[in-house]
Amino acid sequence: MTNKIYEKLMKKCIALAKKGVGKVEPNPYVGAIIYDEKKQKILSCGYHEKYGEAHAEVNAIKNLKKICKNKTLIVNLEPCSHWGKTPPCSDLIIKSEFKKVIVGMIDPNPLVKKNGINQLKKAGIEVIEGILENECKKLNKIFIKNMVHKKPYIMLKTATTLDGKIATPIYNSKWITNELSRNQVQKLRSKHCAIMTGSGTILHDNPNLNVRIKNKKNPTRIIFDPNNKIHIDPDKINVFKNNGVRIILINNSKIKTPDYIEKIEYNDFNSLFLKLYQMGIYSIMIEAGSGLNSALIKANEVDEINQFIAPKIFGCGLDFIKNFDIKNVDECVKLKDISTKRFGDNVLINAIIEKD
């Protein structure tokens, strides 16, 4: 078989894996296909459907209901080799007598990393690695960040004019972007564990930070207020209303807060995000003003940017970042893996921030 066939099948695995978004976290998104190379036919498919339940490989084998002997298994992530909430997939693959396993990427989890592949090879199964590796890593970028750094994946979203303004000088910002862009923002919110904003945004905009899509869960709200600018009044501040959504306040004040608000003190971003990860926050969408945006980028904590740009020019107003004090071009923040998408007359630029 040629790699082109495996790439085509891996694309199908990735599409299957995406069905688990919002249902399997903090586990990775995984799809699996059982393929008959002699007949050049897909025999079965499966994906990780729900956290704590069967993995993709198990579902694909179960869906086949036939002998897997001498067949090929395609999976976008290295099969697990350890006991978690479910048994090791590598054991089942060996027991099922697969002839070949095609793997998209190595599992970054130290408990698995290369162990699953080595176990398959020792059992005499041919393993081909790295098929559409970049696409597979992009799919599980949150899981990779979690496993490697034990911190949440940070995505910064902003909506600006063509000249990079997020509001007029009097803080008016409704609406810079069009309805299509705002609907896309709702979809982005629904894909993250939490939304984080700063005290300035709360005081000027009083946002709800909810998801206005039917049957989608509202993310945890994280309010960054280390300088104690917000006085807790759930009746006046939308994000503090007790409506069943988890609320985390980063605040150094000793004032008493309602019991339903979780409060942690701020020392630095590194310790903050390590703490949030320990609290079960695996991905965060930043929707804030220039102060928090700038501080996070300067601290090298932002992984990805989604910038919605509207065909408008203010010529004055609030920038989405500020005070970087860059004098030479080579000192700039560099972006990679750029993609663009149109939403009517708006343009979305998506990019990954390059890190040392």
The catalytic residues are: 57
**Cβ-count burial 168-194 (b if 16+ within 10 Å, e if not):** eeeeebeebbbeebbebbeebbbbbbb
- Token pair belonging to 337: 């893996």
Q: Say if residues 222 and 281 touch (Cβ distance below 8 Å).
A: yes
Termini Cα distance of the chain: 38
Q: Say if residues 105 and 77 touch (Cβ distance below 8 Å).
A: yes
Beta strands 261-264 and 247-251 are: parallel
Q: Say if residues 70 and 43 touch (Cβ distance below 8 Å).
A: no
Q: Say if residues 353 and 333 touch (Cβ distance below 8 Å).
A: yes
- Token pair belonging to 250: 């980063």
In sequence order, what DSSP letters do the residues of 39-78 get, joined into one string?
A: TTEEEEEEE--STTS--HHHHHHHHH-S--TT-EEEEEEP
d(CA 116, CA 130): 14
d(CA 165, CA 186): 21
Residue 123 vs residues 94, 99, 194, 233: alpha-carbon distances, Å: 7, 10, 42, 62
Residue 83 vs residues 155, 163, 258, 275: alpha-carbon distances, Å: 31, 53, 40, 26
d(CA 115, CA 117): 6
Largest CA distance in the chain: 70
Phi, psi of 216 (to 5 degrees): -105, 135
